[in-house]
Amino acid sequence: MNSSLFAQSDLHSTMSPFNQTTDSHQTFTLTGIPGMPEKDLWMALPLCLLYSTTFLGNVIILVVIKVEQSLHEPMYYFLAMLAATDLSLSLSSMPTMISVHWFNWHSITLDACITQMFFIHTFGGVESGVLVAMAFDRFVAIRFPLRYATIVTHGVIGKIGAIVLLRSVGAVLPVPFLIKRLPFCHSNILSHAYCLHQDAMRLACADTRVNSIYGLLAVIFIIVLDALILLISYFLILQAVLGIASREQRLKALNTCFSHVCAVLLFYVPLIGMTLIHHFGKHLSPIVHTLMANVYLLLPPVLNPVVYSVRTKQIRQRIVRVFCGDRIGP
Round to whole Å and give the CA distance between 284 and 267: 23
Round to whole Å and give the CA distance between 139 and 235: 10
Domain enclosing residue 70, as ranges: 28-316
Residue 311 lies in a domain: yes
Q: Are 298 and 50 in contact (CB under 8 A)?
A: yes
> Torsions phi, psi of 223, nearest 5?
-70, -50
Round to whole Å and give the CA distance between 165 and 81: 10
Residue 109 lies in a domain: yes
Q: At what angle do helices 74-101 and 110-143 cross, to 10 degrees?
A: 160
Residue 164 lies in a domain: yes
Tens digit of pLDDT for each residue in 9-26? Answer: 344 433 333 343 444 457
Q: What angle do CA 90, 91, 96 make, to 5 degrees?
A: 100
| pLDDT category of residue 207 using cuts at 50, 70 and 90 | confident
Cα separations (Å) of 319 from 136, 218, 324?
Answer: 26, 38, 8
Residue among 202, 206, 267, 189 at smallest CA distance from 3: 267
Residue 1 lies in a domain: no
Q: Are 2 and 293 in contact (CB under 8 A)?
A: no
Round to whole Å and give the CA distance between 215 and 210: 8
Highest mean pLDDT among 192-201, 227-236, 277-286, 308-317 belongs to 227-236
**Helices and strands of the chain, counted as H and E runs:** 12, 2
The chain-wide mean pLDDT, for the chain, equals 85
Q: Are 212 and 3 in contact (CB under 8 A)?
A: no
Residue 8 lies in a domain: no
Highest mean pLDDT among 125-129, 253-257, 283-287, 322-326 belongs to 125-129
| pLDDT value of position 6 | 45
For the ranges 25-29, 56-60, 64-68, 232-236, which has the lowest average pLDDT?
A: 25-29
pTM to 2 decimal places: 0.87
The domain that holds 308 is classified in CATH as 1.20.1070.10
Percent with pLDDT over 90 in the chain = 51
**Does residue 193 sit in helix, strand or coil?**
coil
Domain count, the chain: 1
| pLDDT value of position 3 | 54
| pLDDT category of residue 327 using cuts at 50, 70 and 90 | low
Round to whole Å and give the CA distance between 317 and 306: 14
Tens digit of pLDDT for each residue in 250-260? Answer: 888 888 899 99
Residue 88 lies in a domain: yes
Tens digit of pLDDT for each residue in 135-155? Answer: 999 999 999 999 999 999 999
Paired sense of beta strands 27-29 and 107-109, if any: antiparallel
Which H helix or E strand runs over 127?
helix 110-143
| pLDDT value of position 330 | 46
Residue 270 lies in a domain: yes
Residue 10 lies in a domain: no
